Chain A
């Protein structure tokens, strides 16, 4: 229980840090803290494979991608935020969602469900158990996720459709002009 409370506080502090931090890089670092706290939480729930995957995939691969994009996109941008159109909406929304979250937590503590008292299935959380579930009874879900990934791949192609040749030519020409102008200056 003590371990859970510590991990929960760490995870929540990380989550709050992600949205409060001014610098995107700081947000990404807070997210790493959140992810690692969650991974340890999975370990305490004896879901070893999920914990390892969480660290390797999220804290490893995806975070590198985040940092890469952050450094590419926000280098040298000013950090001022746009003015809010509805003053105070963040405070009100944050307070309201905090209250709802608190109500849900109280509800969950007062009324533990029946699933919590059930025992764990065989090989729970290990690679063998995951594989047996994914390639056995849950194979159809794996197929559905595969279709989703296919959709995402199509989406990447659609939204990054190469510009028409004429447009690209014009842009190259204008870039050349600016470069020559800079050279003259």
Chain B
């Protein structure tokens, strides 16, 4: 038992406590939701304590796991995503009693990814993250859940196979499993290059980067709202964290090999994702394509390969997460008993519930990147990183994609100010969703107006000294 791993331990204990609660109390009295929230709060307390407790990285288990400020920051983001998902699905009869336990298990996988420093831990983390998500996508709740689960499982297994093949080649070519032990001579070996290409394919599949994005909209559409939210926020955090670890720890000496690849994929992803978001009518699909576009923005941080880029990438996850939390909370409340809603269903939201409409405006404007929201600051940070790295192509791509995205995000907003088509029932405000919405809106505006505290945290976390 290592005291630095208590954030992970408390999540794991939370899983076991959830299962025990279901077993002891049955499905009638649902104690698993409060238990899971308690576990996440405990994990958050340990994370905050860990943040203040240590400044220098600590290597565990023969250097395969590294606990440093980066892993602690990733823990914080993952806890936020998991807590928001559980609150959104609070006592939802469609989610079932196993929903909190599975969310906690996937969160554990994401936390492992944030601390990984070895191929073995990378693979175990990816699988630990994916298995619960396959189950959550397939669990009944929407009409297309079976299709979503099977599609995610098959494509995920395929990408895991490619990832494993790449890791085997990497091990064969470099002779080590540890990221930081990959020597400068190894990073230019052809076998290592081939292995890292295959590994990157497996990792950016999880991030939902074009051309490995086909599964994202279908899986989101077939999942229930809280699950889709967790995939949009949590999985992106985990995949972005492991990409940073893998490339900035293992291959920081050879950015010429992977930098252009990541840059081109990033520009392609943000343009395609935002363009495809334009004609979507189903709001879950729209948010899925928005997630693809945002994955492209995240890749800018990697491709620019400097400290500002790493900081901007880590920073961008938070405003993106807040915006996704807000958008999914509003969509969940408007949907009510239905499993999915289209843009037309938003019509008349402003007269039906002005407060909800206002929250929706904040979330959408943040996704679009309007000043005074967190999304603007995040995009500005990324733009700065691209320009510092002397890569104007990335900056131009970011601006173009943001312009296209503006159209995609304004469509639902326009619809919400339009006239309702039919008579509308009043909107029920569940307290869990209201809490998520309040936190998301406060966070979005707070980051847009006063981002300094988070910028300071990020600059301590993503401060990989060799990038200077």
A residues contacting B by CB (< 8 A) are 103-104, 107-108, 110-111, 113-116, 118, 137, 140-141, 144-145, 147-148, 150-152, 154-155, 157-159, 161
Given contacts A107-B194, A151-B105, contact A144 B112 (CB under 8 A): yes
Cβ of B282 < 8 Å from any Cβ of A?
no
Contact between chains at A108 and B96 (CB < 8 Å): no
Contact of A116 among B128, B132, B172 (CB under 8 A): B172
Give every chain B residue within 8 A of A147 (Cβ-Cβ): 12, 15, 105, 108, 128
Give every chain A residue within 8 A of B134 (Cβ-Cβ): 155
* Most B C-beta atoms less than 10 A away, residue of A103, A148, A151: A151
In the complex, residue of chain A having the shortest beta-carbon distance to the beta carbon of B139: A158
24 A–B contacts from the bound complex (CB under 8 Å): A103-B194, A104-B194, A108-B172, A111-B189, A111-B190, A113-B174, A113-B192, A114-B175, A115-B172, A115-B174, A118-B175, A137-B62, A140-B61, A140-B64, A141-B124, A144-B124, A147-B15, A151-B128, A151-B131, A152-B131, A154-B105, A154-B132, A157-B98, A158-B102
A157 to B102, CA, bound (A): 12
Chain B 126-143 per-residue mask, 1 if CB under 8 angstroms from chain A, else 0: 011001101100111000
Give every chain A residue within 8 A of B96 (Cβ-Cβ): 158, 161
Given contacts A114-B175, A141-B124, contact A159 B138 (CB under 8 A): yes
Given contacts A111-B189, A111-B190, contact A154 B128 (CB under 8 A): no
Interface of chain B, helix or strand or loop or mixed?
helix
Give every chain B residue within 8 A of A114 (Cβ-Cβ): 174-175, 186
A161 to B98, CA, bound (A): 11
Give every chain A residue within 8 A of B101 (Cβ-Cβ): 154
B residues contacting A by CB (< 8 A) are 12, 15, 19, 61-62, 64-65, 96, 98, 101-102, 105, 108, 112, 120-121, 124, 127-128, 131-132, 134-135, 138-140, 149, 169, 171-176, 186, 189-192, 194
Give every chain A residue within 8 A of B173 (Cβ-Cβ): 111, 113, 115
A168 to B64, CA, bound (A): 50
Since A104-B169, A113-B174, A141-B121 are in contact, a sample of 18 more A-B pairs with Cβ atoms closer than 8 Å, ordered by chain A residue number, is A107-B194, A108-B191, A111-B189, A111-B190, A111-B191, A113-B172, A114-B175, A114-B186, A115-B174, A118-B175, A137-B61, A140-B64, A140-B65, A151-B128, A151-B132, A152-B131, A154-B98, A158-B96
Given contacts A107-B191, A107-B194, A113-B172, contact A154 B19 (CB under 8 A): yes
Give every chain B residue within 8 A of A141 (Cβ-Cβ): 120-121, 124
A25 to B124, CA, bound (A): 32
A104 to B193, CA, bound (A): 11
Give every chain B residue within 8 A of A154 (Cβ-Cβ): 19, 98, 101-102, 105, 132, 135
A161 to B194, CA, bound (A): 43
A129 to B443, CA, bound (A): 52
A104 to B112, CA, bound (A): 30
Q: Shortest Cβ distance from A47 into chain B, in angstroms?
A: 15
Contact between chains at A115 and B175 (CB < 8 Å): yes
Contact of B139 among A103, A107, A137, A159 (CB under 8 A): A159
A144 to B149, CA, bound (A): 23
Q: Shortest Cβ distance from A121 into chain B, in angstroms?
A: 13
In the complex, residue of chain A having the shortest beta-carbon distance to the beta carbon of B120: A141
In the complex, residue of chain B having the shortest beta-carbon distance to the beta carbon of A155: B135
In the complex, residue of chain B having the shortest beta-carbon distance to the beta carbon of A108: B191
Contact between chains at A148 and B127 (CB < 8 Å): yes
Q: Shortest Cβ distance from B219 into chain A, in angstroms?
A: 16
Contact between chains at B61 and A151 (CB < 8 Å): no
A161 to B138, CA, bound (A): 12
In the complex, residue of chain B having the shortest beta-carbon distance to the beta carbon of A103: B194
Q: Shortest Cβ distance from B122 into chain A, in angstroms?
A: 11
Q: Shortest Cβ distance from A107 into chain B, in angstroms?
A: 5
A118 to B128, CA, bound (A): 31
Given contacts A104-B194, A107-B194, A144-B112, contact A113 B131 (CB under 8 A): no
A4 to B173, CA, bound (A): 20
A145 to B128, CA, bound (A): 8
A43 to B127, CA, bound (A): 28
Give every chain A residue within 8 A of B192 (Cβ-Cβ): 113
Contact between chains at A113 and B19 (CB < 8 Å): no
Contact between chains at B131 and A148 (CB < 8 Å): yes
A118 to B172, CA, bound (A): 11
A74 to B109, CA, bound (A): 36
Give every chain A residue within 8 A of B175 (Cβ-Cβ): 113-115, 118
Given contacts A147-B105, A151-B105, A154-B19, contact A113 B135 (CB under 8 A): no
A155 to B191, CA, bound (A): 38
Give every chain A residue within 8 A of B120 (Cβ-Cβ): 141
A43 to B104, CA, bound (A): 41
Q: Shortest Cβ distance from B242 into chain A, in angstroms?
A: 15
Contact between chains at B191 and A113 (CB < 8 Å): yes
In the complex, residue of chain B having the shortest beta-carbon distance to the beta carbon of A156: B135
A114 to B170, CA, bound (A): 11
A154 to B176, CA, bound (A): 35
Q: Shortest Cβ distance from B28 into chain A, in angstroms?
A: 14
In the complex, residue of chain B having the shortest beta-carbon distance to the beta carbon of A137: B62
A155 to B96, CA, bound (A): 12
In the complex, residue of chain B having the shortest beta-carbon distance to the beta carbon of A104: B194
Contact between chains at B131 and A155 (CB < 8 Å): yes
Nearest first, the 3 A-B pairs at minimum CB distance are A115-B175, A155-B135, A113-B173
Contact between chains at A158 and B98 (CB < 8 Å): yes
In the complex, residue of chain A having the shortest beta-carbon distance to the beta carbon of B99: A158
Give every chain A residue within 8 A of B124 (Cβ-Cβ): 141, 144-145, 148
Give every chain A residue within 8 A of B171 (Cβ-Cβ): 115
In the complex, residue of chain B having the shortest beta-carbon distance to the beta carbon of A117: B175
